[in-house]
């Protein structure tokens, strides 16, 4: 099981915006360069996050993107579910009617446990937490994967 580039690139881009928060808008090109991500591809990922309201944009020269709220108010779970889709391991977690025996299905409860475990981590961490860690260690906002 692998995370797609969507969440990986997306989180890195958001962290970049978090580090620039309160200064000036940051352009796609700048983010893509710093993070070594395809310009055009990142454009699409950010569009998804703009649609969900996580970031806002300013057009024209000197434009770019900004977090739409302070990093401390953005939980990683928001970013993750925006990019990766609703984090449901199996459909019957959301739609119990799909399966006549959901109530006492033992495999279902395992998938639910897994999902809760993952979301627990993502709910407990904000962009601010990441930004703090990143700026404490050298210039470590700089990674490849």
Partner DNA sequence: ATATAAACTACCATTGTACTAGGAATTTAG
Partner DNA sequence: CTAAATTCCTAGTACAATGGTAGTTTATAT
Residues that bind a second copy (CB under 8 A): 1-3, 8, 11-12, 15, 76, 84-85, 87-92, 98-102, 104-111, 113-114, 117-118, 120-122, 125, 130, 133-134, 137-138, 140-145
* Residue 66 near residue 88, CB atoms below 8 Å: no
- From residue 42 to residue 81, the character string flagging contacts with DNA as x (rule: CB under 7 A) and all else as - is -xx-xx--x------xxxxxxxxx----------------
Query: Could you give the CA distance from residue 108 to residue 42 in angstroms, rounded to a whole number?
Result: 35
* Tokens 């990986």, residue located: 8
Q: Of the two residues 77 and 126, which places its CB atom closer to DNA in the complex?
A: 77
As a whole number of angstroms, the distance between CA 65 and CA 97 comes to 41
Rounded to 5 degrees, what angle do the CA atoms 24, 5, 62 make? 20
Question: Which parts of 6-35 interact with DNA (CB under 7 A)?
Answer: 6, 27-29
CB closer to DNA, 64 vs 71: 64
> Tokens standing for 22?
């309160």
């Amino acid at each position: 099981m692998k995370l797609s580039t969507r969440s990986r690139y997306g989180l890195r881009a958001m962290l970049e915006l978090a580090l620039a928060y309160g200064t000036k808008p940051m352009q796609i090109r700048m983010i893509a360069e710093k993070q070594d991500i395809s310009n055009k591809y990142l454009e699409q990922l950010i569009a998804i996050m703009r649609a969900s309201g996580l970031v806002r944009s300013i057009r024209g020269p000197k434009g770019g993107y900004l977090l739409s709220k302070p990093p401390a108010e953005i939980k990683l779970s928001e970013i993750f579910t925006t990019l990766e889709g609703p984090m449901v391991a199996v459909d019957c977690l959301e739609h119990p009617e799909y399966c006549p025996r959901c109530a006492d299905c033992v495999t279902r409860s395992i998938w639910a446990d897994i999902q809760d475990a993952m979301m627990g981590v993502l709910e407990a961490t904000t962009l601010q937490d990441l930004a703090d860690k990143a700026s404490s260690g050298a210039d470590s906002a700089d990674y490849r994967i």
